Amino acid sequence: MTTTGVTLGALALASGERVRPRWRDIPLGFAIAAGLFAIFQIGDRTAREIMPRGNEQIKEIYALRQIRPKEEIALRLATVVGPAEELFWRGWLQRRVGWLPASALYAGAHLVTGNATLIGAAGVAGAYWGALAALGAPMTALIVSHAVWDIWIFLVQPTDKVEAPGADPGASPH
Protein backbone atom coordinates (compact mmCIF):
# COMPACT_ATOMS: atom_id res chain seq x y z
CA MET A 1 0.00 0.00 0.00
CA THR A 2 2.87 2.35 0.71
CA THR A 3 4.38 1.94 -2.76
CA THR A 4 1.00 2.36 -4.42
CA GLY A 5 0.36 5.41 -2.24
CA VAL A 6 3.64 7.01 -3.21
CA THR A 7 2.85 6.39 -6.88
CA LEU A 8 -0.73 7.70 -6.75
CA GLY A 9 0.22 10.66 -4.58
CA ALA A 10 3.11 11.59 -6.86
CA LEU A 11 0.85 11.36 -9.91
CA ALA A 12 -1.74 13.63 -8.28
CA LEU A 13 0.86 16.17 -7.15
CA ALA A 14 2.62 16.13 -10.54
CA SER A 15 -0.75 16.77 -12.18
CA GLY A 16 -1.33 19.88 -10.11
CA GLU A 17 -3.24 18.71 -7.02
CA ARG A 18 -2.48 20.99 -4.11
CA VAL A 19 -3.31 21.08 -0.44
CA ARG A 20 -3.81 24.35 1.39
CA PRO A 21 -3.54 23.33 5.04
CA ARG A 22 -5.57 25.32 7.54
CA TRP A 23 -5.73 24.66 11.26
CA ARG A 24 -9.55 24.66 11.23
CA ASP A 25 -9.52 21.67 8.86
CA ILE A 26 -8.02 19.43 11.54
CA PRO A 27 -11.09 19.21 13.82
CA LEU A 28 -13.29 18.87 10.73
CA GLY A 29 -11.14 15.93 9.64
CA PHE A 30 -11.60 14.29 13.03
CA ALA A 31 -15.38 14.81 12.82
CA ILE A 32 -15.49 13.31 9.33
CA ALA A 33 -13.52 10.30 10.58
CA ALA A 34 -15.92 9.88 13.51
CA GLY A 35 -18.88 9.88 11.12
CA LEU A 36 -17.32 7.16 9.00
CA PHE A 37 -16.46 5.13 12.09
CA ALA A 38 -20.14 5.24 13.12
CA ILE A 39 -21.17 4.04 9.66
CA PHE A 40 -18.67 1.19 9.89
CA GLN A 41 -20.02 0.05 13.26
CA ILE A 42 -23.32 -0.65 11.53
CA GLY A 43 -21.72 -1.96 8.34
CA ASP A 44 -19.47 -4.36 10.21
CA ARG A 45 -22.40 -6.03 11.98
CA THR A 46 -24.39 -6.16 8.77
CA ALA A 47 -21.51 -7.68 6.78
CA ARG A 48 -20.96 -10.36 9.41
CA GLU A 49 -24.64 -11.30 9.27
CA ILE A 50 -25.53 -11.15 5.58
CA MET A 51 -22.31 -12.02 3.78
CA PRO A 52 -21.48 -15.72 3.74
CA ARG A 53 -17.79 -15.10 4.49
CA GLY A 54 -18.14 -11.62 6.04
CA ASN A 55 -16.82 -12.52 9.49
CA GLU A 56 -13.90 -14.49 8.05
CA GLN A 57 -13.01 -11.73 5.59
CA ILE A 58 -13.06 -9.07 8.31
CA LYS A 59 -10.71 -11.23 10.38
CA GLU A 60 -8.41 -11.55 7.35
CA ILE A 61 -8.21 -7.77 7.07
CA TYR A 62 -7.38 -7.33 10.75
CA ALA A 63 -4.79 -10.13 10.63
CA LEU A 64 -2.71 -7.79 8.45
CA ARG A 65 -1.98 -5.76 11.60
CA GLN A 66 0.54 -8.45 12.51
CA ILE A 67 2.81 -8.08 9.46
CA ARG A 68 4.66 -4.97 10.67
CA PRO A 69 4.99 -3.11 13.99
CA LYS A 70 1.89 -1.04 14.75
CA GLU A 71 3.90 2.18 14.99
CA GLU A 72 5.27 1.63 11.48
CA ILE A 73 1.82 0.85 10.08
CA ALA A 74 0.41 4.00 11.73
CA LEU A 75 3.22 6.13 10.29
CA ARG A 76 2.67 4.75 6.79
CA LEU A 77 -1.10 5.23 7.00
CA ALA A 78 -0.80 8.80 8.28
CA THR A 79 2.01 10.07 6.06
CA VAL A 80 1.60 8.18 2.79
CA VAL A 81 -1.51 6.04 2.33
CA GLY A 82 -4.24 8.38 3.61
CA PRO A 83 -2.87 11.57 2.03
CA ALA A 84 -2.07 9.89 -1.29
CA GLU A 85 -5.46 8.22 -1.59
CA GLU A 86 -7.29 11.48 -0.96
CA LEU A 87 -5.11 13.47 -3.34
CA PHE A 88 -5.57 10.90 -6.10
CA TRP A 89 -9.10 9.49 -5.69
CA ARG A 90 -11.01 12.46 -4.25
CA GLY A 91 -8.74 15.08 -5.78
CA TRP A 92 -7.25 14.29 -9.16
CA LEU A 93 -9.62 11.54 -10.36
CA GLN A 94 -12.89 12.83 -8.93
CA ARG A 95 -12.32 16.25 -10.48
CA ARG A 96 -12.06 14.56 -13.86
CA VAL A 97 -14.75 11.86 -13.77
CA GLY A 98 -17.12 12.90 -10.98
CA TRP A 99 -18.14 11.56 -7.60
CA LEU A 100 -19.90 8.27 -8.46
CA PRO A 101 -17.42 7.03 -11.08
CA ALA A 102 -14.46 7.88 -8.82
CA SER A 103 -16.12 6.09 -5.90
CA ALA A 104 -16.82 3.03 -8.04
CA LEU A 105 -13.25 2.99 -9.32
CA TYR A 106 -11.92 3.27 -5.76
CA ALA A 107 -13.96 0.23 -4.74
CA GLY A 108 -12.91 -1.54 -7.94
CA ALA A 109 -9.25 -0.99 -7.18
CA HIS A 110 -9.76 -3.35 -4.23
CA LEU A 111 -10.99 -6.21 -6.48
CA VAL A 112 -7.44 -7.58 -6.59
CA THR A 113 -7.79 -8.55 -2.91
CA GLY A 114 -10.61 -11.00 -3.66
CA ASN A 115 -12.12 -9.88 -0.34
CA ALA A 116 -15.76 -8.91 -1.01
CA THR A 117 -16.12 -7.35 2.43
CA LEU A 118 -13.08 -5.12 1.85
CA ILE A 119 -14.36 -4.15 -1.59
CA GLY A 120 -17.71 -3.18 -0.07
CA ALA A 121 -16.02 -1.27 2.75
CA ALA A 122 -13.88 0.61 0.23
CA GLY A 123 -17.00 1.43 -1.75
CA VAL A 124 -18.73 2.86 1.31
CA ALA A 125 -15.68 4.83 2.48
CA GLY A 126 -14.94 6.09 -1.03
CA ALA A 127 -18.54 7.21 -1.55
CA TYR A 128 -18.54 8.94 1.86
CA TRP A 129 -15.29 10.84 1.31
CA GLY A 130 -16.23 11.49 -2.32
CA ALA A 131 -19.60 12.96 -1.38
CA LEU A 132 -17.93 15.25 1.11
CA ALA A 133 -15.37 16.31 -1.50
CA ALA A 134 -18.20 16.97 -3.97
CA LEU A 135 -19.91 19.11 -1.33
CA GLY A 136 -16.74 21.18 -0.92
CA ALA A 137 -14.96 19.62 2.06
CA PRO A 138 -11.37 20.89 2.10
CA MET A 139 -8.73 18.43 0.95
CA THR A 140 -6.82 18.91 4.21
CA ALA A 141 -9.88 17.80 6.21
CA LEU A 142 -10.29 14.75 3.96
CA ILE A 143 -6.63 13.84 4.37
CA VAL A 144 -6.80 14.21 8.15
CA SER A 145 -10.01 12.18 8.17
CA HIS A 146 -8.55 9.38 6.06
CA ALA A 147 -5.36 9.13 8.12
CA VAL A 148 -7.19 9.28 11.46
CA TRP A 149 -9.87 6.83 10.35
CA ASP A 150 -7.33 4.32 8.95
CA ILE A 151 -5.34 4.31 12.18
CA TRP A 152 -8.41 4.23 14.40
CA ILE A 153 -10.32 1.46 12.58
CA PHE A 154 -7.27 -0.67 11.85
CA LEU A 155 -5.04 -0.28 14.89
CA VAL A 156 -6.78 1.47 17.80
CA GLN A 157 -10.44 0.48 17.81
CA PRO A 158 -11.26 -2.29 15.33
CA THR A 159 -14.96 -2.86 14.76
CA ASP A 160 -14.82 -6.03 16.82
CA LYS A 161 -12.41 -8.17 18.79
CA VAL A 162 -10.93 -10.48 16.21
CA GLU A 163 -8.51 -13.34 16.09
CA ALA A 164 -6.32 -14.28 13.17
CA PRO A 165 -8.12 -16.56 10.65
CA GLY A 166 -7.94 -20.18 11.81
CA ALA A 167 -7.03 -19.19 15.39
CA ASP A 168 -8.62 -21.15 18.22
CA PRO A 169 -10.60 -18.57 20.22
CA GLY A 170 -10.29 -20.72 23.34
CA ALA A 171 -6.51 -21.10 23.13
CA SER A 172 -4.30 -19.27 25.57
CA PRO A 173 -2.15 -16.53 24.04
CA HIS A 174 0.83 -17.71 26.08
The domain locations on the chain are: 23-156
Residue 29 CA: distances (Å) to CA of 7, 10, 129, 169 = 24, 22, 11, 36
First to last CA, the chain: 32
Whether residue 174 has pLDDT greater than 80: no
Instruction: Give the model confidence (pLDDT) of 13-46 as tens digits.
Output: 889 888 889 999 999 999 999 999 999 888 877 7
Q: How confident is the model at residue 57, as a pLDDT?
A: 73
For 117, residues 6+ apart whose C-beta sits below 8 A from its C-beta are: 47, 51, 53, 54, 57, 58, 61
Q: How confident is the model at residue 168, as a pLDDT?
A: 44
Determine whether 88 is exposed, middle or buried from the number of CB atoms within 10 Å of its CB (0-12, 13-18, 19+).
Answer: buried
Instruction: Give the model confidence (pLDDT) of 113-153 as tens digits.
Output: 998 888 998 999 999 999 999 999 999 999 999 999 999 98
pTM of the predicted model as reported, rounded to 2 decimal places: 0.84
